[in-house]
Amino acid sequence: AICVMIQVSTEGNEALKILTSAMDKIRYAGSWSELSPFPISGLLPSTGNYITYEGSLTQPPCHETVNWILMNKPIYIEKQQLHSLRKLHQGNIQKPKARMVNNFRPTQQLHHRT
């Protein structure tokens, strides 16, 4: 899995603008929208440096089967782009469930990791 940190800035991310512009149409699970093509590399920071570690899934059952690649620099997004991401819901429009924020899990035991 690739992990990219996000930092709010006055400079937006052009590739992410394409995604966030469609967020009002795809706020709930099961909805969709066509997007203009964009290079997926635009969602990654312009760096060749990263760290890796063996970890686990971030959602239950939290199996320890993931090789994480953590980029060493963030991508920058505007406040409005972050706001669009925070409006996403986990469920569909009939049963919206919770928004997709604060969906991190508590710190886990180390088990066989170091």
How far, in Å, CA of 1 to CA of 50, rounded? 12
* Residue 106 confidence (pLDDT) above 90: no
Q: Where are the domains of the chain?
A: 2-86
Look at strands 75-77 and 2-3 and give their pairing. unpaired
The CATH class of 2-86 is alpha beta
User: pLDDT value at position 77?
Assistant: 93
- pTM above 0.75? no
- Angstrom CA distances, 46 to 30, 49, 64, 71, stand at 32, 9, 29, 10
User: pLDDT value at position 7?
Assistant: 96
pLDDT digits (tens, 9 = 90+) for 33-72: 888 888 899 999 999 999 999 888 887 788 889 999 999 9
pLDDT digits (tens, 9 = 90+) for 72-98: 999 999 999 998 888 887 777 787 777
